[in-house]
Amino acid sequence: MNIELIIKEKVAGAINALYGQSIEPSQVQVQLTRSEFEGDQTVMVFPFLKISKKSPEVTGAELGEYLAANVSEVSGYNVVKGFLNLSIDNQFYIDRLNEAVREEKYGFVPETASAELVMIEYSSPNTNKPLHLGHIRNNLLGFSLAEVMKANGYKVVKTNIVNDRGVHICKSMVAWQKFGKGETPETHGKKGDHLVGEYYVKFDQQYKSEIAELIAQGRSEEQAKEEAPSIVETREMLLKWEANDPEVRNLWKTMNGWVYKGFDETYKTLGVDFDKIYYESDTYTIGRDEVLRGVKEGIFQQESDSSVWANLEKEGLDKKILLRSDGTSVYITQDIGTAQLRYRDYPIDHMIYVVGNEQIYHFQVLSLLLDKLGYKWGKDLYHFSYGMVELPNGRMKSREGTVVDADDLVAGMVDVARAVSMELGKLEGYSEAEKEHIYHIVALGALKYFILKVDPKKTMTFNPEESIDFNGNTGPFIQYTYARIQSILRKANDTGVEVPSQAATESLNDKERNLLKIISLFPEVVKEAGTAHSPAVVANYVYDLVKEFNSFYHDHSILNEPDSAKRDFRLVVAQTVGKVIKNGFSLLGIEVPERM
Q: What is the mean pLDDT of residues 456-478?
A: 88
**Looking at the structure, do residues 460 and 569 belong to the same domain, yes or no?**
yes
Q: Which of 167, 157, 173, 377 is nearest to 274 (CA)?
A: 157
CB atoms closer than 10 angstroms to residue 116: 14
Under 8 Å between Cβ of 230 and 173: no
Q: Which of 91, 62, 60, 52 is nearest to 75 (CA)?
A: 91
* pLDDT over 50 (residue 7): yes
CA distance 162 to 280: 6
**Looking at the structure, do residues 574 and 462 belong to the same domain, yes or no?**
yes
Q: Tell me the chain's radius of gyration from C-alpha atoms.
A: 29
Domain ranges, residue 79:
3-88
10 occurs within a structural domain: yes
CA distance 508 to 72: 18
Pick the range with the lowest mean pLDDT from 116-130, 400-414, 514-528, 553-567. 400-414
Pick the range with the lowest mean pLDDT from 417-426, 434-443, 482-491, 553-562. 417-426
Q: Which of 126, 511, 161 is nearest to 354 (CA)?
A: 161
Q: How many domains does the chain have?
A: 3
104 occurs within a structural domain: no
Predicted confidence (pLDDT) per residue in 280-317, tens digit: 999 988 999 999 999 999 999 999 999 999 999 999 99
Under 8 Å between Cβ of 588 and 526: no
Instruction: Return the CATH number at 521.
Output: 1.10.730.10
Give the list of residues 6+ apart from residue 536 with CB closer than 8 angstroms, or none. 452, 453, 454, 455, 456, 529
Under 8 Å between Cβ of 40 and 508: no
Under 8 Å between Cβ of 450 and 474: yes
Mean pLDDT of the chain, nearest integer: 93
**Looking at the structure, do residues 555 and 465 belong to the same domain, yes or no?**
yes
* pLDDT over 60 (residue 13): yes
**Looking at the structure, do residues 168 and 312 belong to the same domain, yes or no?**
yes
Under 8 Å between Cβ of 283 and 341: yes
**Looking at the structure, do residues 17 and 157 belong to the same domain, yes or no?**
no
Question: So what's the pLDDT on residue 2?
Answer: 85
Which of 340, 370, 390 delimits the end of a domain?
390
Instruction: Return the CATH number at 290.
Output: 3.40.50.620
Under 8 Å between Cβ of 451 and 459: no
What are the backbone angles phi and psi of residue 321, rounded to the nearest 5°? -75, 135
Question: So what's the pLDDT on residue 401?
Answer: 47
**Looking at the structure, do residues 343 and 443 belong to the same domain, yes or no?**
no
401 occurs within a structural domain: no
Give the list of residues 6+ apart from residue 113 with CB closer than 8 angstroms, or none. none
- 21-26, long-range: CB within 8 Å, 24+ apart, which pairs? 21/51, 23/51
Burial 532-552 (b: 16+ CB within 10 A, else e): ebbbbbbbbbbbebbbbbeeb
Pick the range with the lowest mean pLDDT from 41-55, 438-452, 461-475, 557-571. 461-475
Which of 390, 412, 446 delimits the end of a domain?
390
∠ CA 552-557-559 to the nearest 5 degrees? 130
**Helical H runs in 217-359?**
221-227, 229-242, 246-270, 280-296, 331-345
Question: So what's the pLDDT on residue 393?
Answer: 65
pLDDT-derived band at 423 (thresholds 50, 70, 90) equals confident
Predicted confidence (pLDDT) per residue in 15-57, tens digit: 999 999 999 999 999 999 998 999 999 999 999 999 999 999 9
Question: So what's the pLDDT on residue 403?
Answer: 66
* pLDDT over 50 (residue 260): yes
What are the backbone angles phi and psi of residue 441, rounded to the nearest 5°? -60, -45
403 occurs within a structural domain: no
Under 8 Å between Cβ of 118 and 75: no
**Looking at the structure, do residues 70 and 200 belong to the same domain, yes or no?**
no
Predicted confidence (pLDDT) per residue in 96-138, tens digit: 999 999 999 999 999 999 999 999 999 999 999 999 888 999 9
Under 8 Å between Cβ of 356 and 138: yes
Helix (H, G, I), strand (E, B) or coil at 317: coil
Judged on CB neighbours under 10 Å (0-12, 13-18, 19+), 476 is buried
97 occurs within a structural domain: no
249 occurs within a structural domain: yes
Distances 395 to 54, 286, 460 between C-alpha atoms, Å: 58, 35, 11
Q: What is the mean pLDDT of residues 344-362?
A: 95
109 occurs within a structural domain: no
**Looking at the structure, do residues 367 and 434 belong to the same domain, yes or no?**
no
Question: So what's the pLDDT on residue 342?
Answer: 94
Across the strands, what pairs with 405? Answer: 132
**Looking at the structure, do residues 83 and 127 belong to the same domain, yes or no?**
no
Question: So what's the pLDDT on residue 326?
Answer: 85
**Looking at the structure, do residues 464 and 575 belong to the same domain, yes or no?**
yes
- Furthest-apart CA atoms within the chain: distance in Å: 91
Q: Give helix 360-372 / helix 331-345 axis angle, nearest 10°.
A: 60
**Looking at the structure, do residues 160 and 299 belong to the same domain, yes or no?**
yes
Pick the range with the lowest mean pLDDT from 119-133, 240-254, 383-397, 534-548. 383-397
Question: So what's the pLDDT on residue 471?
Answer: 83
Under 8 Å between Cβ of 88 and 74: yes
CA distance 300 to 319: 10
316 occurs within a structural domain: yes
Quick one: CA torsion of 267, 268, 270, 272, rounded to 10 degrees? 70
**Looking at the structure, do residues 315 and 462 belong to the same domain, yes or no?**
no
Predicted confidence (pLDDT) per residue in 81-101, tens digit: 999 999 999 999 999 999 999
Question: So what's the pLDDT on residue 520?
Answer: 96
Q: Which of 173, 282, 285, 319 is nearest to 235 (CA)?
A: 173
Predicted confidence (pLDDT) per residue in 182-217, tens digit: 999 999 899 999 999 999 999 999 999 999 999 999
Residues in the chain: 596
* pLDDT over 50 (residue 399): no
| Phi-psi group of 384: left, alpha or beta (phi > 0 → left; psi -120 to 50 → alpha; rest → beta) | beta
Predicted confidence (pLDDT) per residue in 262-287, tens digit: 999 999 999 999 999 999 999 988 99
**Helical H runs in 319-378?**
331-345, 360-372
Helix (H, G, I), strand (E, B) or coil at 28: coil
Instruction: Return the CATH number at 65.
Output: 3.30.1360.70
Question: So what's the pLDDT on residue 402?
Answer: 54
